[in-house]
Amino acid sequence: MGDERGHAIQRVARMVPAPADGRSVRVAVDGVDGSGKSTFAGELAVALRAQGRNVVHVSADGFHHVREVRYRRGRDSAQGFWLDSYDYRALAENVLDPFGPNGSRRYRQATHDVATDQILDPPWLVAPAETVLIVDGLFLHRDELVGAWDFSVFLDVPFQVSVARMAERDGSHPDPADPSLARYVGGQRRYFAACTPWLRATVVVDNTDLARPTLRA
């Protein structure tokens, strides 16, 4: 991690509220596909652990709906991507509620494998008291979830950059306007219109330049 990126991560880590009285702190790292959510969340977890905090990092990608639900509005439906991708009830029951006020901290990392479309039944884990939970994923500032977070980050990256990153990673088309990306880019635009996540987040980070992310006031 370069000095400028490391400095930005440390700044965000210092902003995360400290757990107290045995309670946990729930942190969201939100952004579009290709914005760098999982990497940022992982680096934030490292920085918080260096402060002596207990950290659990979970990806919302372990809580997708099965394909039958995800594609019920059509394989190319942007509305379907926005509304049907994730099983928020499973995310709440297995992750968010256990780390909420008076929660048991008994959690599971995933309930669904999106690659195989298999329902998972992993063992339950128990986190220590005063743990910082970090969840990375899409759509984390939507109405159903926004009240769950004690602290949240929105990674702001233009589609021209994020889609190009996805093309390098996944072999998808690099142009956000390409019809093959209508479901995904369109679904995320619907999220922006419905929730303006950059206004709901505690902090917005411009992650366009991965070496030099900048915090916005």
Positive or negative torsion for Cα 52, 91, 27, 60: positive
Q: What is the pLDDT of residues 93-107, one digit of tens each?
A: 999 999 999 999 999
Side-by-side strand order, sheet with 131-137: 54-59, 131-137, 25-31, 151-156, 203-206, 214-216
Q: What is the pLDDT of residues 104-139, one digit of tens each?
A: 999 999 999 999 999 999 999 999 999 999 999 999
Q: What is the pLDDT of residues 185-204, one digit of tens each?
A: 999 999 999 999 999 999 99
Beta bridge partners of 125: 107
For range 53-73, the mean pLDDT: 98
For range 49-70, the mean pLDDT: 98
- Number of helices and strands (H, E) in the chain? 8, 10
pLDDT at site 145: 98
Q: Give the helix ranges, DSSP H, for 77-179.
A: 78-84, 88-91, 159-170
User: Is domain 3-207 in CATH 1.10.3720.10, yes or no?
Assistant: no
pLDDT at site 1: 67
Provide the residue type at 169 as one letter. Answer: R
How far apart, in whole angstroms, are the C-alpha atoms of residue 121 and residue 155? 31
Delimit the domains of the chain by residue range. Answer: 3-207
Cβ count within 10 A of residue 43: 21
Residue whose C-alpha is closest to residue 29's, from 18, 13, 7 = 13
pLDDT for residue 158 is more than 70: yes
pLDDT at site 37: 98
Residue 216 vs residues 98, 101, 106, 199, 203: alpha-carbon distances, Å: 31, 30, 35, 11, 7
pLDDT for residue 217 is more than 70: no
For range 1-13, the mean pLDDT: 92
